[in-house]
Amino acid sequence: MNTQQKHPKQQLDTVLLLFFMISVSGYLWEILLYFCMSGTFTNRGFFHGPWLPVYGFGAVLLAAMLGKVPVRLKHKPLALFFLSALICTVTEYLLGTYLEMRRHMRYWDYSGWPLSIHGRVCLISFLFFGLGGLFLDRFLLPALSRISEHLSAPKHMRGRKLLHAVLGALCLLFTFDLIYSYMHPNIGNNISFRVR
């Protein structure tokens, strides 16, 4: 995320918009995917609210890391694809390891999928992460930056206040969900399973 010439408030707006947009999109994606596989609607995440923050944190981390990539590399889609896939795959593997070791829970299992590593990552997720990174860099980040810049103009004060109110409410709800879910994680059939 190239934020060197952005005002800190614009930068924060862009980061929060990205985080919540991708967290909610990840939640909807998982519900749709599981519905197609099983025919039932299930909240698949650790949290109780309509978000999967691993997607949001992954997107913010990826945006920050891609912002540090030299410009000449940005014009090489294949290099950007592999870099994005690698960053997200490592993040997914580390999070899966943490949940298993610390919480003794598994929320996904790629065992039996092509090139699976300990069931935590696989080739298909690697490929999706690469495509997601390209989409993020080429389309989503520029669009979110334009929205943030547009709303920062003095004539759009009402829109900016509305955006800040919505982001503030989302941050508050997310914080409550984080605390509650840490004490009472969303677990059960078709959501998670215990590991030793």
Three-state secondary-structure class, residue 39: coil
pLDDT tens profile 140-169 = 998 988 887 887 777 778 888 888 899 999
Residue 196: which pLDDT band, with cuts at 50, 70 and 90?
low
Distance between CA atoms of 103 and 41, rounded to whole angstroms? 24
Give the pLDDT score at 3.
Answer: 44
What is the arithmetic mean of pLDDT over 96-121?
Answer: 89
DSSP-derived pairing of the beta strands 193-194 and 105-106 = antiparallel
The distance from CA 172 to its chain's CA centroid, rounded to whole angstroms, is 18
Count the Cβ atoms, other than its own, within 10 Å of residue 171: 13
Structure tokens at 23: 């967290």
Mean pLDDT, the chain, whole residue set: 87
Give dist(CA 52, CA 55) in Å, integer.
6
Q: Please list the alpha-helical segments (H only) found in the chain.
A: 8-38, 53-66, 71-74, 77-98, 123-135, 141-151, 157-183
| pLDDT category of residue 190 using cuts at 50, 70 and 90 | low
